Amino acid sequence: MQNEIAVAVRDLRMTYPGARPVHALKGVSLDVRQGEMLLVMGPSGSGKSTLLSIIGGLLTPTAGSVIASGTEITHLPRKESARFRLQNFGYVFQSFNLFSSMTGAENVELAFDIRGVRGRKARSAARELLSQFGLNEQADRAARDLSGGEQQRVAIARALAGNPSAVLADEPTSQLDADNGAIVANILSELAHKRGTTVIIAAHDDRIRSVADRAVQLDDGRL
């Protein structure tokens, strides 16, 4: 249900140690509902990527908690945390992070393979996902030969392998031109509004703001 809280963030604090410790997050709390597209905005260094990484279980906060799909994930043992991420989160990065020598279909198929779907079933599912994003003709081309917009669409398809409950996207349009950025923004919006996937995006892109359900501003580690 769209009114259910999918991700609950409570008093997150993150300090990176060093000679001059960096206080990246300073007591951040928010709720994100199932099927909501949330945009986290803020200048470089505001803590956006840190917040996204903690929500996705890639970083452990100094203090505070994240509850996702009913599970408190911030202090799970390493193996349980990895298993939870695999089952519940899809990730989209600004640099695409595709295997350049593999085809678009192979990149997506690998994501299915990691989630336990293999062989003919994985190949069929990968092509079906790519088809949904208008990438039939690009499926058999090496990722390095695709345009930036095509690579990002492949990356989104890969993130959806296994039907995660949430997709986390870190600056997904920053390397794209206006037209491709708008296409990707609309695809992410459709994930939330047509599939019911929770979508959390860290960016400062007005193309995303125009289609997001809600935008919050992060500045110097505070909402």
- How many domains does the chain divide into? 1
Rounded distance between C-alpha atoms, residue 24 and residue 109, angstroms: 36
Q: Is residue 117 part of a domain?
A: yes
Q: Is residue 204 part of a domain?
A: yes
Question: Is beta strand 5-16 parallel, antiparallel or unpaired with respect to 22-33?
Answer: antiparallel
CB 19 within 8 A of CB 215: no
- The single-letter code of the amino acid at 96 is F
Q: Is residue 45 part of a domain?
A: yes
> Which residues on neighbouring strands pair with residue 28, listed in sequence order?
12
Q: Is residue 3 part of a domain?
A: no
Q: Is residue 28 part of a domain?
A: no
Q: Is residue 20 part of a domain?
A: no
Q: What percent of the chain has pLDDT over 90?
A: 84
**Residue pLDDT, tens place only, 92-151:** 988 889 999 999 999 999 999 999 899 999 999 999 999 988 899 999 999 999 999 999
Q: Give the residue carrying structure tokens 């090496």.
A: 142
Q: Is residue 70 part of a domain?
A: no
Question: Which of 137, 136, 122, 52 lies closest to 93 in space, CA to CA?
Answer: 52
Backbone angles phi, psi at 174, to 5 degrees: -65, -25
Paired tokens of 89: 């989160």
**Parent domain of 141:** 36-59+77-217
Rounded distance between C-alpha atoms, residue 114 and residue 188, angstroms: 23
CB 35 within 8 A of CB 2: yes
CATH number (domain holding residue 161): 3.40.50.300
Q: Which segments of the chain have a pLDDT < 50?
A: 1
Q: Is residue 6 part of a domain?
A: no
What is the DSSP code (8-state) at residue 172?
A: T
Question: Is beta strand 22-33 parallel, antiparallel or unpaired with respect to 166-170?
Answer: unpaired
| pLDDT at residue number 1 | 47
